[in-house]
Amino acid sequence: MDVRELKVPGSWELTPKQFGDDRGVFLEWFKESTFVEAVGHPLHLAQANCSVSAAGVLRGVHFADVPPGQAKYVTCVRGAVLDVVVDIRVGSPTFGSWDSVLLDDLDRRAIYLSEGLGHAFLSLDDDSTVVYLCSSGYQPGREHGINPLDPEIGIQWPITSRSGFALELILSEKDASAPSLSDATNQGLLPRYDGVREWMNGLT
């Protein structure tokens, strides 16, 4: 498995080696030893999610209060999505920056984003199926969002699907009405960089 750290510190792209023959394909989409070598600690698995989305569905930007936060290890087992990580840690040298990874059923990459980062993805195919391993369970009162179309962040979302037709973005009411990065900062919703680092230094 090849591992590449993204430009948002605390996030990585993981590309598995695939072994194919006339029967199909085999790959390891998660391997603890490789993960620990890259990240520095094991992934504590508390919940596993599966999301199926039509082309144009945009989910996020989602994040959770730290502690404990919610780290995510994400891959797309069917279809394709543009998966995006956003640095929302107040005080971070890269605050407000973002990076993306194309997750699809061809290269079968995964993305890992650690606690305190924002996460979003745009489905590029109908029935795109995303599965992700989470370090903590869903806690409604500790989960928040930022508008994924916030021009201050400036995420460059694709305008066409993987097959080339124009995408019409579809957001939930909650995501569409989520605050901007500036508003979330002013409301005190965002994790602080020093607090996230302190929490993560205690992970083993």
Supply the residues annotated as catalytic: 62, 132
Task: Give the E-state strand segments of 29-153 in sequence order.
Answer: 47-53, 58-64, 72-78, 80-87, 98-104, 110-113, 117-123, 128-134, 143-145
78, 105 contact by CB (below 8 A): yes
Of 77, 73, 76, the C-alpha closest to 48 is 73
| H-run or E-run covering 174 | helix 173-176
- Residue showing tokens 């290269």: 107
